[in-house]
A = this chain, B = another copy of it.
């Protein structure tokens, strides 16, 4: 299939590479040139703009940083909508706000172009291994085209519904729930630490039994050892998603005391030694510091 791919960060590069390896013809575009080079060597063509990456494509993927970035590569003279042929499909994989996704959907409808939002859970190495969990939402006809492609990129594709923005909602809720797992583990390790029980041993006991799942294992180990670098998912990105979740919930009229608590943790974490580039699990430093157990990171 003829595919455009826009946004070659760590996630985008891994996904684009898998599309090339699956035999698709790719035109890729990235704001800076460097990340496109390995894909060129693997057989992709390099486009000079989002518009050119979209030209002639059956499907164009975007995987960029935030609301502003997705708007920048979609709209305007050099945007993908200017390049896409009628009836083509845009698959938006970025973690963006529900409001931005809604706006995206409306403007694609006006332009006669399909839109599927397909958000992902998993880090770059997971993406490379085609093990992502993907949440897809869009009109039936659009999903019919998107799902077989997405199935080449992850271990499962969940169909959220017909409204593309709800894939973004599920992503934000998922990250919200992960942030609470982190805070929970921080508080649990603080109690253990003060009680003379090795936090790592606590984590092993619980994640070997009742909390036998990846989030608790991954973050439990990081927090018990206070090892917040290198980042798997950067604190500043986690903070951005927390902000999106709070804004989305506010627009819906839903108070979220847990997200509010985590919001304050993101801010306080800076005062306890964490920075933008630490792993977002560093917000657990707050619970540890309040118990007198933090080691400056």
Residues of A at under 8 Å CB distance from B? 98, 121, 133, 135, 156, 158, 160-161, 163, 166, 169-170, 173-174, 176-178, 180, 183-184, 187-188, 190-192, 194-197, 201-202, 205-206, 208-216, 245, 248-250, 252-261, 263-265, 267-268, 270-272, 286-287, 289-292
A291→B158 contact, CB < 8 A: no
With A135-B205, A260-B260, A268-B290 as known contacts, state yes or no: A173 contacts B158, CB within 8 Å: no
The chain B residue sitting closest to A189, CB to CB, is B173
Q: Which of A215, A255, A256, A258 counts the most chain B CB atoms within 10 A?
A: A255
Question: Which B residues touch A216, using CB under 8 A?
Answer: 213
A215→B133 CA distance, assembly (Å): 20
Within the complex, what minimum Cβ distance (angstroms) separates A101 from chain B? 11
- Please give the count of copies of this chain that the complex contains: 4
Q: Which of A135, A188, A272, A292 counts the most chain B CB atoms within 10 A?
A: A188
Question: Which B residues touch A173, using CB under 8 A?
Answer: 188, 191-192, 202, 206
Inter-chain pairs besides A161-B197, A180-B180, A254-B290, 13 sampled, C-beta below 8 Å:
A133-B210, A156-B209, A187-B254, A191-B248, A191-B256, A195-B252, A211-B215, A212-B213, A213-B216, A255-B264, A255-B291, A257-B260, A258-B261
Question: Which B residues touch A156, using CB under 8 A?
Answer: 208-209
A293→B290 CA distance, assembly (Å): 15
Which of B121, B195, B211 touches A98 (beta carbons < 8 Å)?
B195
B211→A177 contact, CB < 8 A: yes
A74→B24 CA distance, assembly (Å): 54
Question: Which B residues touch A211, using CB under 8 A?
Answer: 174, 177, 213, 215
A264→B253 CA distance, assembly (Å): 9
Within the complex, what minimum Cβ distance (angstroms) separates A199 from chain B? 10
A267→B250 contact, CB < 8 A: yes
Within the complex, what minimum Cβ distance (angstroms) separates A202 from chain B? 7
B258→A260 contact, CB < 8 A: no
